[in-house]
Each structure stands twice: as C-alpha cells, then as structure tokens.
C-alpha cells in the first residue's frame, strides 16, 4: 500500500475559519465559538455561556479516518488579555479528553461530519461526547480573551494520507 502525503495550509483568521474542500482535499475544518442560540459569535454578554465547536466535514463519497492525536492539553484553552498586553491561561472546558480513549482512528461517513462541541460552563441538557468530563468553569468576567487551534491533523481516505495544518485564532470579548 502506497501512502501519499499532502500538506495543505490553512490561514489564520478571526472568528470562524474553514478549510475549503478541493478535489485533492475533500475535508473541511471549522472552528468557532457559538452563543447560547447556537449561532457563531465572538461577542458574549457577561454571564452568557458559550460553546466551542470544532467540526471535521467529509465532502467525499468515501469514509475518512482521522487520528485524535492532534488534541493536546491546549485544545480549547482560553487565555485572558491582561493590562500589559500579555495573555494568561485561564482554563479549558474539559478535564479529560475521551472517556474511552482508543489508539484507533475515528471514522467520518461519506458526506458526514464529526463534531467536537463543549460548553464553557457545564449545561444540564448538553453533554459533550467525545469529551469525558467538563470543567466546572464559572462564566467569564468582562474582558478580552482568545482561544486557538494550531495542529496538524492526519486524515486517511482510501489509501491516501492527507496532513492538514490547521492554524486558527479566535479573539473574543465578554462585555
């Protein structure tokens, strides 16, 4: 079996960043914050909860496998802007990444998607698969914050391996 590696770079932008599918890369990646109505936003009222949403979409007619190894300790980490212009780490919305961690890969159905979605503060009616345990985060106080994902994600479609370098920063405000 011959594996072909393709590296695709995705630029950093504000808000929501997507990687557009192409004939060589049928994968779309979307990272955004969602307000309590489920709409993308970077402005939240003090006391309002929000969710992190990271979606891997498969636009091909084939199954796509991917490894969760790109999820590290900084995945969904929130940093607060301090007076001197420095960002300090605050927390992330989960304690454990996977309840049943497996070294196997995840599978995305043809024309399907895989979602990593979790609220900042736990919600009764919303749980968080594949995350195991949410953090008991209090609502964030007024301020400027950021979260980012800067990872290489490995996908396999049939015998073809695609490496996507995804680098996206979201700056958001609690007012």
What are the mean pLDDT values of the chain's consecutive 10-residue runs (175 residues total)?
35 48 81 97 97 95 89 90 93 75 78 93 75 84 97 92 93 98
CA-to-CA distance for 155 and 169, rounded, in angstroms?
A: 22
Residue 124: its pLDDT value, please?
Answer: 76
Residue 99: its pLDDT value, please?
Answer: 61
Residue 91: its pLDDT value, please?
Answer: 95
CA-to-CA distance for 120 and 137, rounded, in angstroms?
A: 6
Residue 71: its pLDDT value, please?
Answer: 82
Collapsing DSSP to helix, strand or coil, 155 comes out as strand
Q: Which residues contact 80 (CB under 8 A, 6 or more apart)?
A: 87, 88, 90, 140, 143, 144, 145
Residue 70: its pLDDT value, please?
Answer: 83
Query: Phi-psi category of 111—alpha, beta or left, where left has phi over 0 and alpha has psi -120 to 50?
Result: left
Strand residues in 21-68 grouped as ranges (E)? 27-34, 43-44, 51-58, 64-66
Q: Report the DSSP beta bridge partners of residue 166.
A: 10, 151
Residue 149: its pLDDT value, please?
Answer: 94
Residue 96: its pLDDT value, please?
Answer: 66
Q: Write the burial class of residue 48 (CB in 10 Å: 0-12 exposed, 13-18 middle, 19+ buried).
A: middle
Sign of the CA dihedral running 46, 169, 106, 34: positive
Q: Write out the residue range of the structural domain in which residue 48 sits.
A: 4-174
CA-to-CA distance for 124 and 144, rounded, in angstroms?
A: 27
* CATH code assigned at 133: 2.60.40
Domains in the chain, number: 1
């Amino acid at each position: 079996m011959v594996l072909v590696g393709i590296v695709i770079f995705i630029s950093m932008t504000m808000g929501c960043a997507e990687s557009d599918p192409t004939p060589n890369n049928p994968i779309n990646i979307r990272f955004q914050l969602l307000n309590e109505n489920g709409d993308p936003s970077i402005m939240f009222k003090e006391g309002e909860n929000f969710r992190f949403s990271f979606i891997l979409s498969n636009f091909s007619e084939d199954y796509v496998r991917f490894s969760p190894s790109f999820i590290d300790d900084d995945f969904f980490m929130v940093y607060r802007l301090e007076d001197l212009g420095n960002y300090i780490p605050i927390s992330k919305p989960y304690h454990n990444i996977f309840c049943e961690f497996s070294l196997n890969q995840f599978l995305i159905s043809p024309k399907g998607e895989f979602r990593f979605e979790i609220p900042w503060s736990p919600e009764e009616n919303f749980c968080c698969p594949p995350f195991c345990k949410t953090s008991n985060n209090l609502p964030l106080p007024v301020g400027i914050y950021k979260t980012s994902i800067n990872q290489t994600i490995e996908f396999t479609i049939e015998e073809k391996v695609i490496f996507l370098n995804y680098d996206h920063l979201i700056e958001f405000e609690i007012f």
